Structure 1
């Protein structure tokens, strides 16, 4: 287990919904724990009480490292970072947060009515973690959530990395893969998930089978929440207001983004830069983890050494 600050010890006690899970939740929690076992670094799990319920945060890396916050993609949970966590936590203190409205170990007790409250929920967690400044990485929907958080509370954010952010710069464009997903929506769940993965990843066979099992259970458990329709591309004014350095990475076979995303990132964000990852789809952090890890760390180090 990773060492934990004294301030965090009060958050290490597992709540009852974890220690005595419902019959519905137990298979998912077991699968989640199985995926955590493939992480190659020590970690600590925190359960932080918030206005809307309990936030589950996986912490790894040296206590002395600069804080790095990770926001996962839709239905992916914090375990999606298994190909990246070893590299990211060598020098940085990493905080991976499970989104409270999706499968994961966070647990909602009060309704969240709008995206402003989502930003407030993240901010409440960061306050309780006492992160006065931090870097943030968001993947897919997590990228949209990172920008939403930054537009509401950006003073503490030292840098932002967006991995194929969904609905952030451009609308998700119609494509052959998207059409196949619609067609397969009328098919079996197995076919739906298989097609979804093939459209999102350039190398499905590269995805760890233990993680896939968790992902499948999560998607069946809860695939969409009401805020999906509230995700719309941000405005020119929004991007121009971002004060921190921003790195945007997309795959060369990305069904969510294209070259226009990179052009906008470089042109509209004052300290924005963008790059394309070869032989990668939307799940670029899994398709090409070594390349993505290197680019992220080079970017973070450049910000840290400014």
Structure 2
């Protein structure tokens, strides 16, 4: 067994073990109503960081309710934001104002992770992930979508885009997890497992120190939400299902793709940019200096400008 598989297996076992809690609610992610209420309060507090008008909606899908936060002009190009594990859509607080200035932005919470979406299923296979997002896209009649996705969201976004029939026009991947390779720095990445197993403020700070180059840029409201996600949430990201995409698959991506990676990312090494350039026919790559895995927060201005230029480029 490789180190990557061992890491993913251990994290999955931890998450599954944390799910073995007697529930007093019908929620697969939050075992207790009290925990969920505290988390939702912190979610709403984090939304105050957006500094832009938004609407919240719940879209009915075959997998439960999809919570969507919508911003920007109705006639703008559609931009869909897909968050990382347990980060929820509120992670986009440093980016949404710039992205929604001219574009119609849809931020979607993944249903089997902490957020406001509500799953009616206990598990989702890759084909179910594709179906879930496609049902949300169909609800809004979205076509020619610009997908902007971070970490685990980047893997799902790539999965979506590789489908023969999809609605994606452009794909922007920000520190995508497992898409081009495995975990780069296992020791530092293991802080995520420790936080999940034994959540505490000290372990939260250690996690952000490893996953962010500038943890001081992460607002305390968001830090509190992320902490409560680990303390009360029982997410099922099913990381062992996140296989590395074969080169032959990635070569079929005919649309424009952009890959951004921080030079201090604990998940991806900078070599993935070379692998992406050698594999994807139409790709732009950028190594963002002074940034970690939380690249969209560490260097928000650079990420915002890069994504907007990529989306608007003809």
TM-score class, shorter-chain normalisation, is 0.7 to 0.9
- Could you say if the C-alpha distance between residues 23 and 290 of structure 1 is closer, same or farther in structure 2, counting changes exceeding 3 Å? same
Q: Tell me, yes or no, if structure 1 residue 213 matches structure 2 residue 224.
A: yes
Question: Separation in 1 of the partners of 2:68 and 2:296?
Answer: 20
CA contact (8 A) 1:66 1:93 kept: yes
- Could you say if the C-alpha distance between residues 187 and 156 of structure 1 is closer, same or farther in structure 2, counting changes exceeding 3 Å? closer
Q: Which residue does 1:23 correspond to in 2?
A: 34
Cα deviation for residue 156 of structure 1 reads: 1.8
- Could you say if the C-alpha distance between residues 221 and 87 of structure 1 is closer, same or farther in structure 2, counting changes exceeding 3 Å? same
For 1:231-270, list aligned pairs within 5 A. 231-270=242-281
2:44 to 33, 36, 57: 33
Q: Which residue does 1:157 correspond to in 2?
A: 168
Unaligned segments of structure 2, at least 5 residues: 1-26
1:116 match: secondary structure: helix
- CA-to-aligned-CA distance 1:213-268 (integer Å, 9 cap, x gap): 11111122225415111112111011101121000000011111122210111110
- Could you say if the C-alpha distance between residues 268 and 218 of structure 1 is closer, same or farther in structure 2, counting changes exceeding 3 Å? same
CA contact (8 A) 1:71 1:139 kept: yes
- Could you say if the C-alpha distance between residues 132 and 253 of structure 1 is closer, same or farther in structure 2, counting changes exceeding 3 Å? same
Question: Separation in 1 of the partners of 2:164 and 2:109?
Answer: 19
> Which is further off, 177-186 or 58-67?
177-186
Q: What is the TM-score with the length of structure 1 in the denominator?
A: 0.88
CA contact (8 A) 1:52 1:112 kept: no
- Could you say if the C-alpha distance between residues 182 and 39 of structure 1 is closer, same or farther in structure 2, counting changes exceeding 3 Å? closer
2:176 match: secondary structure: coil
> Which is further off, 289-298 or 218-227?
218-227
Q: Tell me, yes or no, if structure 1 residue 68 matches structure 2 residue 79.
A: yes
Q: Tell me, yes or no, if structure 1 residue 43 matches structure 2 residue 54.
A: yes
- Could you say if the C-alpha distance between residues 228 and 199 of structure 1 is closer, same or farther in structure 2, counting changes exceeding 3 Å? same
For 1:50-199, list aligned pairs within 5 A. 50-152=61-163, 155-178=166-189, 189-199=200-210
- CA-to-aligned-CA distance 1:259-279 (integer Å, 9 cap, x gap): 221011111011112101111
Cα deviation for residue 195 of structure 1 reads: 1.7
Cα deviation for residue 185 of structure 1 reads: 7.5
Q: What is the TM-score with the length of structure 2 in the denominator?
A: 0.85
Question: Separation in 1 of the partners of 2:70 and 2:210?
Answer: 31
Q: Which residue does 1:12 correspond to in 2?
A: none
Unaligned segments of structure 1, at least 5 residues: 1-16
Q: CA RMSD in A?
A: 2.0
1:142 match: secondary structure: helix
Return the structure number with greater relative CO, CA threshold 8 A, min gap 6: 2
Question: Separation in 2 of the partners of 1:182 and 1:113?
Answer: 22
Q: Paired residues, what number?
A: 284
CA contact (8 A) 1:184 1:191 kept: no
CA contact (8 A) 1:52 1:111 kept: no
Cα deviation for residue 186 of structure 1 reads: 7.5
Q: Which residue does 2:302 correspond to in 1?
A: 291
Question: Separation in 2 of the partners of 1:112 and 1:176?
Answer: 28
